[in-house]
Amino acid sequence: MIAELFLSGIIVWLAGAMASLALWCQPAAARRVACAAALAGSLLDLAASTAAIFSSSPIVIGLPFGNPVFTWAVRLDPLSSYFNVTLAALAAAVSLYSFGYLREMEGRRNLGTFGFFFNLLLLSLALVFTASNAFFFLMTWEVMALSSFCLISFEHEKEKTRNAGVLFLIMSHAGTGLLLIAFLVLASASGSLDFSSFHLLASRMPPLEQDVIFLLFLVGFGVKAGVVPLHIWLPEAHPVSPSNVSALMSGIVIKTGIYGMARVFFDFYGAPPIWMGTVVLGLGVASALLGVLYALMEHDLKRLLAWHSIENIGIILMGFGAALMFRSLGQANLAALALIAALYHTFNHAMFKGLLFLGAGSVVQATHTRNMEKMGGLIRRMPVTAVCFLLGAVAISGLPPLNGFVSEWLTYQALLAGFGTTQSLTRLMFPIAGSLLALTAALAAACFVKAFAIPFLALPRSEEAADAREASLPMRAGMAVLTVGCVALGLGATWFVRVFDPITQQALGVRASSALVMARGWALSPGTAHGGTISTAGMAMLFLIAGAAFALPLAARWRRRSVPGPTWDCGQPGLTADNEYTATAFSKPLRMIFSALYRPRREIQAEYEVSPHYPSAIRFENEIEPTFEKHLYGPLWERIMAAANRMKGIQAGSINLYLTYIFITLILLLLFGVRG
Amino acid sequence: MTERMMIRLIENAAQLFLLLALAPLVTGVIRTLKARLQTRRGPGILQPYRDLRKLFRKGMVIPETASWIFAATPWVVFFSTLLAGLMIPMVAAEAPLGLFGGVLAVIYLLGLGRFFLALSGLDSGSSFGGLGSSREMTISALAEPAMMLAIFTVAIGAGSTGLTEIAGAAIGQNWRFLAPAQMFAFAALALVLIAETGRIPVDNPDTHLELTMIHEAMILEYSGPYLALIEWAVSIKQLVLMTLLINCFWPIGLQPTWFGFGALQGIGWLLAKLLFLSCAIVLLETVNAKMRLFRVPELLAVAFTLGSLALVSTFLF
């Protein structure tokens, strides 16, 4: 039954892809078919994978393709199914949203190809999460990368978009190359490409190979996940793609890297050496902190959100790192807690980041700009979008009682418990990581005050913002679905943690949820004795009671005594949008405090006629140094170009020469084969 | 079950009443003591109550440019602060609403209030509001790691982030607050408290319409009952943070239950400890001048260092 549901989802996506390609000259039909197929496929996939999490044994489905060497088979075990649920829940909302979002593009862009790649992306994602052998995994991985590339480059007439797409493609393939090597090493050790033959295999290999494979996987999957310092493609690619694609990219495509790491760390490895956990934890802290610090400096709304994806990947990796360390230390229960925190955050991030990108898409479509400094006052023009975006902002800032708070709280608990697990100095890492997580969360809150207040509050800063119109009904529905997801995952935390039982059972051999749920489902605890509890549902209930009993009646009474009046304008005649604080000004204190990192450069040019005190025009330019691009990738790029230049010599263009090369290679391979 | 729930309900109601009633008094005492130390007469310790009564009776001016965020913020701030207040032990060692959250929830609930306050600062469109929001979010973000390190130190000692357990551990080991780790953590949290409650040398709670202001700038557009709600919430937040500090580190006088004669004794101890901490704050405020905004990170770096020292000394001593 589950297998049939899953397969029908795949078939619906495939059919949707083909049909929308066939309908490319009828944009309206292509849009409807593509979105309907994407939605239907997602719902089928959601049903199948939800059931598969709780199914007693993994569901194995052989696909009727392939050959004896490379079988095409999918396997829905709890971990795969969990990521598939995340995918399906997000994709359903995004498909709903796309009904309205793509309408604007009708007649201007080829929606047939868009629908094709959109459905193909969903299809390949579902298969990446479920592929049960290395060959099939890498194949679907490539389909996913290529369809993402096509969707990122959809507005390809802009040079920035093309560059971002190419950067994504290069980095993605470099990562895939590393994955290929790692999988081949594993395959040669096991004699099979099947994932089930890799189970705990890596831990039985010689130490050096173990370490090399670990690093290959970490970098290979890290590129896709956007881990610092492999993140540079992410803030370029996410903003330039259409916003429904950004939501998918940020919500789920980068999670394939997380899935890959989870598969490798908790399936292929048994108890890894402790340094692996510390490396992952350290990378997580670096990604989280640098992600949010760069996000603060952005005033491109979508770029800002893209940087926050890096931050949240960092938070997820903090959970993974702690889980790996606990596993090395033999603390299965704590490892389960940390793994739950990481996976919970993965789902949460898909919900709120998907929501925020969809909200940003509505705003960008209404104002025709991504620059926050040109928005403002949208809460009156776009009330529904504003409420959804606000709840998403509260959720991503980790504020109670929404879902971000629950997973960050679990991460804190895991880190806190870590201090007592070892006597070595390594244990200092846990509380320091915890305090930097606190810094990250507080900076994220600062950033989302900016990201909500500047576009949505006060007066419009441009005519486009003043004339903005609320998003269409399907777009609002898509955002509402994800908003409900954020609220439900926050309030229903004790109900949701039961989902992790099969996963932790599979990965670590423990079922943790019964220890996590307390007070008849009202409170969540970290599962350690007297570990402290939270009750998001209880908090929300008290807020509602207090609001209904006091706030509403009193506010109604006070409203009769209130008069509207102008905002204090310091005695100048009339308040205009020019008086408002800008996004750049808002983040100025942090830009000055962290100037060692940002190395800000600013340039002010004033034109004047009589005296410099009375300028007729002022030009202000402000930028921060892109540290990684300049100091890491710049030199790397130069080396690569230099090496390529040197290698020009052997590429003379003569066919005889190339035949000689082929011949020499053949001889060498034969010799190698004979010797081996 | 019903009996336990009744007891919980009574405890919560008692603590709620205490929070609401005591918070303006603490503000009044600090103001009066400060005035006396500066050889002024001061307005008397009951002045905050009179201010609140006056503001609640007044009408309001709502900025034309503001949205519903402006009207929702006072309530969010007020309720989230109260909710946080119910999660800390005040008179009895057991926090009445400890099940709903521990020290992390307290911090994040206060963060929720701050988030909305910062939004409302930007909502009216005045430059002052944005200036206050920007500074408030910056300073609180920088205070957070120091606070978390200190809290981790305390929580590691108690093996829990639940405040009932933390206070219980403090009671269980007499004179524990003299241990180096505890003293460093106390110092770190005290600095954070100063930053979070907007006191000198970080912010001056008495300024209004000055370019150095932080908190006052955010709430510049509020008037009447909404202003009263925010002022009340701010003094409750101050009381919550002060109580958190004293009851985690000096648990003397915390009672086993809220019932009987012990409760009065507990309240007496609470008042005495609050008065002591208020005197310390007043002294600190009087002998220091307000710092430049860009010197505040240095102060918070000191707090962070103290927090790190606290953590390191948990296993050195």
Domain ranges of chain B: 2-316
The total of other beta-carbon atoms located within 10 Å of residue A560's CB is 7
Answer yes or no: is pLDDT of A35 > 90.
Answer: yes
Residue for token digits 């982030």?
B161
Residue of chain B with shortest Cα separation from A590: B138
| B251 neighbors B270 (Cβ within 8 angstroms) | no
Helix intervals (H) in A368-491: 378-381, 383-396, 403-418, 429-456, 463-466, 473-491
Burial label for B53, CB within 10 Å (0-12, 13-18, 19+), is exposed
Question: In the prediction, which pLDDT does B174 show?
Answer: 62
Contact B99 A434 (CB under 8 A): no
Question: In the prediction, which pLDDT does B17 show?
Answer: 95
Residue for token digits 């999670």?
A255
Residue for token digits 């996590």?
A516
Tell me the two tokens of residue B91: 């008179």
| CA distance, residue A515 to nearest chain B CA (Å) | 15
| B310 neighbors B188 (Cβ within 8 angstroms) | yes
Contact B159 A530 (CB under 8 A): yes
The whole-angstrom separation of Cα A481 and Cα A476 is 9
Element (H, E) at A149: helix A134-152
Q: Which residues contact B296 (CB under 8 A, 6 or more apart)?
A: B139, B142, B195, B201, B202
Q: Which of A145, A249, A138, A121 is nearest to A193 (CA)?
A: A138
Among A379, A399, A416, whose Cβ lies nearest the Cβ of B108?
A399
Helix intervals (H) in chain B: 2-37, 47-57, 68-86, 103-123, 127-158, 163-172, 180-196, 215-218, 224-249, 261-287, 296-316
The total of other beta-carbon atoms located within 10 Å of residue A575's CB is 22
Element (H, E) at A220: helix A207-225
Question: Parallel, antiparallel, or unpaired for β B60-63 and A562-565?
Answer: parallel
The whole-angstrom separation of Cα A534 and Cα A518 is 10
pLDDT tens digits, A262-294: 999 999 998 889 999 999 999 999 999 999 999
Tell me the two tokens of residue B55: 């503001």
User: In whole numbers, what is the pLDDT of chain A averaged over residues?
Assistant: 92
Residue of chain A with shortest Cα separation from B130: A581
Tell me the two tokens of residue A207: 């130490």
Q: Which of A9, A385, A31 is nearest to A242 (CA)?
A: A31
pLDDT tens digits, A616-651: 888 888 888 888 888 999 999 999 999 999 988 888
Question: In the prediction, which pLDDT does A575 show?
Answer: 81
For chain A, percent of residues with pLDDT exceeding 70? 99
Bond preceding residue A600 cis, omega within 30 of 0? no
Answer yes or no: is pLDDT of A427 > 90.
Answer: no
Chain-centroid distance of CA A554 in Å reads 42
| CA distance, residue B6 to nearest chain A CA (Å) | 16
Among A419, A457, A581, whose Cβ lies nearest the Cβ of B119?
A457
Question: In the prediction, which pLDDT does A356 show?
Answer: 97
Question: In the prediction, which pLDDT does A271 show?
Answer: 84
Cβ contacts of B248 on chain A, cutoff 8 Å = none
Complete DSSP assignment for A631-662: IIIHHHHHHHHHHHHHHGGG----HHHHHHHH
Bond preceding residue A401 cis, omega within 30 of 0? yes
Cβ contacts of B311 on chain A, cutoff 8 Å = 428, 431-432
∠ CA(B104), CA(B235), CA(B260), 5° rounding? 75
Give residue A576's region: left, alpha or beta (phi > 0; psi -120 to 50): beta
| CA distance, residue A73 to nearest chain B CA (Å) | 45
Chains A & B: contacts with CB separation below 8 Å: 257
| B38 neighbors A522 (Cβ within 8 angstroms) | no
The whole-angstrom separation of Cα A129 and Cα A81 is 8
Question: In the prediction, which pLDDT does A69 show?
Answer: 66
Backbone angles phi, psi at A518, to 5 degrees: -130, 170
Backbone angles phi, psi at A385, to 5 degrees: -55, -40
| CA distance, residue B244 to nearest chain A CA (Å) | 16
Chain-centroid distance of CA A597 in Å reads 24
Residue of chain A with shortest Cα separation from B84: A539
Q: Confidence band (pLDDT; 50, 70, 90) for A68?
A: low
Contact B145 A558 (CB under 8 A): no
Question: In the prediction, which pLDDT does B1 show?
Answer: 62
| A230 neighbors A154 (Cβ within 8 angstroms) | no
- Amino acid letter for position B264: L
| A363 neighbors A385 (Cβ within 8 angstroms) | yes
**Sign, Cα dihedral of A352, A358, A361, A366:** negative
- Amino acid letter for position A543: F
Site from A293, A318, A411, A534 to mutate, B interface, most B CB atoms within 10 angstroms? A534
Answer yes or no: is pLDDT of B177 > 90.
Answer: no
Long-range contacts of A297-300 (CB under 8 A, 24+ apart): A297/A587, A297/A591, A297/A598, A297/A624, A299/A371, A299/A372, A299/A373, A299/A454, A299/A582, A299/A583, A299/A584, A300/A239, A300/A370, A300/A371, A300/A372
The whole-angstrom separation of Cα B30 and Cα B205 is 11
Q: What are the helix and strand counts (H, E) for chain A?
A: 31, 7
Q: Confidence band (pLDDT; 50, 70, 90) for B317?
A: low
Question: In the prediction, which pLDDT does A357 show?
Answer: 97
The whole-angstrom separation of Cα B150 and Cα B161 is 12
pLDDT tens digits, A318-360: 999 999 999 999 999 999 999 999 999 999 999 999 999 999 9
Contact A439 B161 (CB under 8 A): no
| B52 neighbors B268 (Cβ within 8 angstroms) | no
Average pLDDT over residues A654-662: 90
The whole-angstrom separation of Cα A485 and Cα A559 is 33
What's chain B's Rg over C-alpha atoms? 19
Strands (E), A3-70: 59-66
Q: Confidence band (pLDDT; 50, 70, 90) for A676?
A: low
Question: Parallel, antiparallel, or unpaired for β A562-565 and A601-608?
Answer: unpaired
Question: In the prediction, which pLDDT does A19 show?
Answer: 95
Chain-centroid distance of CA A258 in Å reads 9
Q: Which residues pair with A73 in a beta bridge?
A: A62
- Highest mean pLDDT out of A129-133, B111-115, B156-160: B111-115
Residue of chain A with shortest Cα separation from B125: A458
Answer yes or no: is pLDDT of A370 > 70.
Answer: yes
Structural domain boundaries in chain A? 286-495, 627-675
Burial label for A26, CB within 10 Å (0-12, 13-18, 19+), is middle
The whole-angstrom separation of Cα A508 and Cα A467 is 55
In three-state secondary structure terms, A603 is: strand
Residue of chain B with shortest Cα separation from A456: B123
Question: In the prediction, which pLDDT does A401 show?
Answer: 92
Contact B159 A568 (CB under 8 A): no
Contact B125 A457 (CB under 8 A): yes
Among A457, A581, A592, whose Cβ lies nearest the Cβ of B127?
A581
Q: Which of A227, A130, A236, A217 is nearest to A177 (CA)?
A: A217
The whole-angstrom separation of Cα A224 and Cα A216 is 13
Helix A78-101 / helix A255-263 crossing angle, nearest 10 deg: 170
Among B119, B138, B155, whose Cβ lies nearest the Cβ of A589?
B138
Cβ contacts of A531 on chain B, cutoff 8 Å = 159-162
The whole-angstrom separation of Cα A507 and Cα A326 is 13
The whole-angstrom separation of Cα B204 and Cα B198 is 7
Q: What's the pTM?
A: 0.95
Residue of chain A with shortest Cα separation from B148: A435
Contact A438 B148 (CB under 8 A): yes
Among A413, A547, A564, whose Cβ lies nearest the Cβ of B62?
A564
